[in-house]
Amino acid sequence: MARIFVLDDEESIMRTWVLILTKFGYQTTGFSHPHAALEAIRKNPPDILVTDVGLPAMTGIELAITLMDEGIPTKVLLCSGQTVTAEYIDAAAEKGYHFRVLAKPVGPALLVQSIRAALGESEDTAPFT
């Protein structure tokens, strides 16, 4: 099963997503600071990183760009509840980086479905119950 890192500066969201993804059989590790997540990714990249866009010190988009620029093969699923995210997405697109962002709140069904799609897993790999 895939390894997933979850990054959100809101501890309750991070812990909830880790719990949900663990229930679905994913090996999941949570982080509340982007630099800690980046350090861990550089040491042993997960299959996918689920990250909030609005983070302290570095946005989720900046983190995704860093991973891409360093050639780290981790896929990134961005989530945001902030309206300023569109500005970040547009700025990244001007530099040649294109992202899709899930709007928060992200419920369990959409979270798992989005991860399955990003990983190329079939819908019946881990059914939502």
pLDDT digits (tens, 9 = 90+) for 89-107: 888 999 999 888 898 889 9
Place of tokens 């700025």: 91
Tokens of 15: 């812990």
Answer whether residue 51 shows pLDDT above 80. Answer: yes
Exposed / middle / buried, residue 11 (Cβ in 10 Å: 0-12, 13-18, 19+): exposed
Burial class (CB in 10 A: 0-12, 13-18, 19+), 9: middle
Angstrom distance (rounded) from CA 85 to CA 87: 5
Which alpha helices (H) appear in the chain, and where do they start and end? 11-23, 34-43, 60-69, 85-94, 108-119
- Prediction pTM value: 0.88
